[in-house]
Amino acid sequence: MRTLFLYITFKVLWRFFFSVIIGVRFIGSRKFNGHIQFIVASNHNSHADAVTLMTAIPNNKLSKTRPVAAADYFGRNKFISFVSWLFLNLVLIPRKRAKDNKEDDPIQIMNNVLKKGNSLILFPEGSRGESGKIQPFKKGIGFLMEKNREVPVIPVYMEGIGRVLPKGNKIILPSLTKIYVGDAVYFKKESPAEITKIIEQKVLALKEKSAKYKQNFN
């Protein structure tokens, strides 16, 4: 029942809205296929990012794919927290936590979700930035991958999504958006810092690919 509900939400309603009304196009979305589990690592410019990415997740993975979001925004009260889970399938993490409180440890929360066989959608910049600019990735994704080396990371670059629902704006605006999906990356002996840097470079490479794509069609 949960799978059917999420299918209707993302694959029917939101997919129609983003592809037809907004103008979102995926390039390489088939690279999400064939994995038992994965972590999507993407740049972050809009509250529409997670919903847009969920429309491209394979049908059989929808209910087990959890976008990561800030608890202070999407879980600021019980009702909003419930709606965030019901309609967006979010896993909420605190941006700030009390010292020595393991229950509020974002890495441990995400690790627990992965250990249950779920996939994650992460935004390693940590917060929404300016459209077209990528902020330095935070090391949290490196520490998470150190504990879950069997899970591949799929890099994604979202081009133009910042114009759809920019920071400080509450109205979704039409804007031709291209989302580039890269090849899955596995990690073996790299340190958290090295893992973070590699993922950041993969997303930046997709950004360069998007720039060349635009040049070829201008």
Helices 140-147, 106-115: inter-axial angle, 10-degree rounding: 40
What was the pLDDT predicted at 18? Answer: 83
What was the pLDDT predicted at 93? Answer: 92
CA distance 86 to 121: 16
CA distance 85 to 76: 13
H-helix or E-strand spanning residue 6 = helix 2-6
Structure tokens at 129: 């930035």
**Bridge-based pairing state of the strands 153-159 and 177-181:** antiparallel
Query: Going by C-beta distance under 8 Å and a sequence separation of 6 or more, which residues neighbour residue 149?
Result: 186, 187, 188
CATH of the domain at 90: 3.40.1130.10
Domain count within the chain? 1
Task: Report pTM.
Answer: 0.88
Measuring CA to CA, which residue among 199, 149, 210 is closest to residue 25? Answer: 210
Please tell me whether residue 24 adopts helix, strand or coil conformation: strand
CA distance 135 to 182: 19
**39 secondary structure, DSSP code:** E
Which residues is 156 bridged to in the sheet?
42, 181
Burial of 27 (0-12, 13-18, 19+ CB in 10 A): middle
What was the pLDDT predicted at 76? Answer: 85
CA distance 125 to 94: 15
Q: Domain range spanning residue 174?
A: 2-216
Structure tokens at 74: 């999407």
pLDDT averages per 10-residue partition of the chain, 218 residues: 87 88 89 96 87 93 94 86 90 76 84 97 83 86 97 94 60 74 96 97 92 61
